[in-house]
Structure 1
Amino acid sequence: MKKVLIPVTNHATLGETDQANGTYAPELTHVVHVLKAQGIAFELASIGGGQVPLYGTETEDDEVNRQMLEDPELQAKIANTLKASELNVSDYDAIFYPGGFGLLSDLASDDQFAVLAASHYEAGGVIAAVCHGPAALLPITLSTGEPLIANKSVTCFTREEEIDFGTISDIPFLLEEAIARKAAQYRKVQPWQELVVEDERLITGQNPASAHAVGVALAKHLTQ
């Protein structure tokens, strides 16, 4: 059975503010929903392990989010993520980074996961990320010394979307700028529209509206 490693943040606030944050639930739940439907296993991990913070758990308008947040398997994994130090990355066929602002404060600069992800990619693995998830791609350096995204086309949450969402002055750094400075090509569409960019075994989605399509693209890579 194919298996996806999902690294999530331990950071529970928006940057240095006291605003509750973490992983944005719909970007996790919509992808997990696709994986489960395709019979693909998944595991959640974080730098420190244990219970991880989620936000975006209001489910009135999102049946998939509601269904997945009530899913016993996912609930158990959110409550008890594996520690980065406990992982054997060769057990996984893909790595998926969901978004949320929390990871701008930990995974975006974490060497432990970056080293795991680099070895995974160089061994033929697939890496996917959505919204702020591509922040976790920034520290990934291949054995050539080049950043993973140096020769890749990628997307992520945009400056316009940060402004619309009211977070532009509270984020630790502007992800669009950081990605655009490091990637071969940065792509975006109008705010809040779906965009998924696939470049060989790297899949990125722009925003929450792109999460389902990222899940579909990831499942396709693993089942074809």
Structure 2
Amino acid sequence: MAKVLIIVTNHATLGDTDEKNGTYAPELTHALQVFLDAGYSYDIASISGGAAPLYGEEIDDAVNQSVLADADFQARINDTLATAQINNDDYNALFFPGGFGLLSDLASNKDVAAITANFYEAGKVVAAVCHGPAALLPVELSDGSMLLASRQVTAFTREEEIDFATIDKIPFLLEEALTRKAAKFTKVGPWLEHVITDGQLVTGQNPSSAHAVGEAMVALIAKG
């Protein structure tokens, strides 16, 4: 049975503001439901371990509410593994759900970047959605090249930041950072589903893409 490692942020606010933030719940819950439907198991980890901040719990859709109500999920999100404890060999894939909090820790964490590089170079699936691709920015491969340098990706866009009224609150604009580092950045209109699969790397543009990212991951894992 396949097992997915989900790494989430420890940063509980939107940038330097006092606005509640962390991981955006629907991006985690919708992808996770796909993994569960496929019969996969999972662990949730964060840099520091312990309780991980969520926002968007109030989003009223059946998947989000069902996963959030699950006692096992609540136990895991409230006591995440510390990434230093992770054994990469235990997992078939790595997934970064989004949320603005990630821009303040995972986007620059070299230890998590090393975990990601290890997954990628082992031929495993690496995936991220919305702001999740920020975790790919510092990933350097063993040959000294940057993971993104040869990959096509997508992520939350400038237009979506404007629509969400976060453009002046975020630590940096993810679309711009990815455009500078990735071989190619693609996007569609705001809030439309958009998923890019480039080899074993899967990225999704926004919350609407989380389910499809999960499906793309399952398809790749099934191929072995």
TM-score where L is the length of structure 1: 0.98
> 2:134 aligned with 1:150, yes or no?
no
In the other structure, the counterpart of 1:5 is 5
Which amino acid counterpart does residue 23 of structure 1 have in structure 2?
T
> 2:200 aligned with 1:201, yes or no?
yes
**Residue 72 of structure 1, CA deviation:** 1.6
In the other structure, the counterpart of 1:70 is 69
State the alpha-carbon separation in 2 of the partners of residues 4 and 140 from structure 1: 19
Runs of 4+ in 1 over 4 A off after TM superposition: none
State the alpha-carbon separation in 1 of the partners of residues 24 and 213 from structure 2: 15
In the other structure, the counterpart of 2:47 is 47
Unaligned runs of 5+ residues in structure 2 are none
In the other structure, the counterpart of 2:176 is 177
State the alpha-carbon separation in 2 of the partners of residues 58 and 90 from structure 1: 35
State the alpha-carbon separation in 1 of the partners of residues 29 and 141 from structure 2: 30
Secondary structure at the aligned position of 2:107 is classed as helix
State the alpha-carbon separation in 2 of the partners of residues 181 and 134 from structure 1: 13
Which amino acid counterpart does residue 101 of structure 1 have in structure 2?
F
Determine if contact 2:129/2:213 at 8 Å carries over to the other structure. yes
Identity %: 60
**Residue 71 of structure 1, CA deviation:** 1.2
**Residue 59 of structure 1, CA deviation:** 3.5
State the alpha-carbon separation in 1 of the partners of residues 22 and 222 from structure 2: 30
State the alpha-carbon separation in 1 of the partners of residues 210 and 119 from structure 2: 22
State the alpha-carbon separation in 1 of the partners of residues 140 and 211 from structure 2: 28
**Residue 223 of structure 1, CA deviation:** 2.0
Which amino acid counterpart does residue 219 of structure 2 have in structure 1?
K
Secondary structure at the aligned position of 1:6 is classed as strand
State the alpha-carbon separation in 1 of the partners of residues 67 and 221 from structure 2: 21
TM-score where L is the length of structure 2: 0.98
**Residue 74 of structure 1, CA deviation:** 1.1
In the other structure, the counterpart of 2:22 is 22
Unaligned runs of 5+ residues in structure 1 are none
State the alpha-carbon separation in 2 of the partners of residues 7 and 113 from structure 1: 9
State the alpha-carbon separation in 1 of the partners of residues 73 and 84 from structure 2: 21
> 2:221 aligned with 1:222, yes or no?
yes
State the alpha-carbon separation in 2 of the partners of residues 89 and 124 from structure 1: 12
Quote the RMSD (CA, aligned, Å). Answer: 0.7
State the alpha-carbon separation in 1 of the partners of residues 119 and 94 from structure 2: 8
Secondary structure at the aligned position of 1:108 is classed as coil
State the alpha-carbon separation in 2 of the partners of residues 201 and 127 from structure 1: 6
In the other structure, the counterpart of 1:165 is 164
**Residue 120 of structure 1, CA deviation:** 1.2
Secondary structure at the aligned position of 2:127 is classed as strand
Secondary structure at the aligned position of 1:121 is classed as helix
In the other structure, the counterpart of 2:79 is 80
